[in-house]
Amino acid sequence: MWGGGVGERTPHRVIFKTREGGDFGLAITKEKKQELVAQYTDLLNRSQAVIFTDYRGLTAAELGRLRSKLREADSRYHVIKNTLFRLALQKADQPVPEDLLGGPVAVSFCLGEVPPTAKILVDFAKESKILTIRGGLLNKKPLGVQDIQALASLPSREVLLAQVLAGMQSPISGLVTVLSGTIRGLLNVLKARAEQLEGASA
């Protein structure tokens, strides 16, 4: 189940059609189509996940700001040609989510960690009230909107490592104290034994 969408429509906003990811004019040459399919396939093969969005109603400035944020999270945001993207999904041995590929679609290719990208998209959808998250794919499995929202709430790898290290700090400190006490006690026993032997030989 792919789920519904995050974000609301504002019908009177000016629609900006971006061409990142390919020039989708009235005429696309065969060579251009092959180039786009190859580009999509390469991105799919390098992505940890892909997240499908409806970008209709976003201004050029808003799209640029969203792309900049996603690039910081090591993601690429492309408006796709649906028919060509279907071919790329097949070439990359990915399932084809037909219900996510209707109308204008932009895809976020998560080349790095997935949670930061999910968080950027979820936050942007809430902020703009225009961008709609449709669903996604993770490890060739469908992601519903709730799944993406759950991923958005996960900490980044850096934060997670910091939390793990903080959690380990107290046990390690306790272990060091115990080991120090044990070694100190052993040294005291050896010292006492040495003194005992010295007294016996005197």
Q: Is 178 within the bounds of a domain? A: yes
The residue written with tokens 């120090």 in the block is: 180
How much is the pLDDT for 27?
65
**Could you read off the pLDDT of 107-147 as tens digits, one per residue?**
999 999 999 999 999 999 999 999 999 999 999 999 999 99
Shared-domain flag, residues 138 and 170? no
Shared-domain flag, residues 134 and 159? no
Q: What is the pTM of this model?
A: 0.69
The residue written with tokens 């019908």 in the block is: 11
Backbone angles phi, psi at 57, to 5 degrees: 100, -15
Shared-domain flag, residues 106 and 197? no
Shared-domain flag, residues 198 and 140? no
Rg (alpha carbons) of the chain, rounded to whole number: 28
Q: Is 170 within the bounds of a domain? A: yes
How much is the pLDDT for 28?
79
For helices 60-72 and 114-128, the axis angle rounded to 10 degrees is 160
The whole-angstrom separation of Cα 85 and Cα 89 is 6
How much is the pLDDT for 3?
52
Q: Is 192 within the bounds of a domain? A: yes
Q: Is 198 within the bounds of a domain? A: yes
Shared-domain flag, residues 104 and 56? yes
Shared-domain flag, residues 79 and 164? no
Q: Give the residue from 24, 22, 16 showing the smallest Cα distance to 63.
A: 16
Rounded to the nearest angstrom, the gap between the alpha carbon of residue 24 and the centroid of all alpha carbons in its chain is: 28
The whole-angstrom separation of Cα 52 and Cα 94 is 14
Q: Is 73 within the bounds of a domain? A: yes
Dihedral (Cα; 81, 87, 90, 91), 10-degree rounding: -110
The residue written with tokens 């969408």 in the block is: 5
Q: In what order do the strands lie in the sheet with 132-138?
A: 75-79, 106-110, 49-54, 132-138, 141-143
Shared-domain flag, residues 96 and 146? yes
Shared-domain flag, residues 168 and 200? yes
Shared-domain flag, residues 120 and 184? no
Q: Is 100 within the bounds of a domain? A: yes
Cβ pair 51, 136 in contact under 8 A: yes
Q: Give me the number of domains the chain comprises.
A: 2
Shared-domain flag, residues 120 and 169? no
Shared-domain flag, residues 182 and 195? yes
Q: Is 80 within the bounds of a domain? A: yes
How much is the pLDDT for 173?
59
Domain range enclosing 198: 155-202
| Residue ranges, the chain, pLDDT below 50 | 1, 8-23, 175, 178
How much is the pLDDT for 193?
52
**The CATH number of the domain where 69 resides is what?**
3.30.70.1730
Shared-domain flag, residues 100 and 193? no
How much is the pLDDT for 114?
96
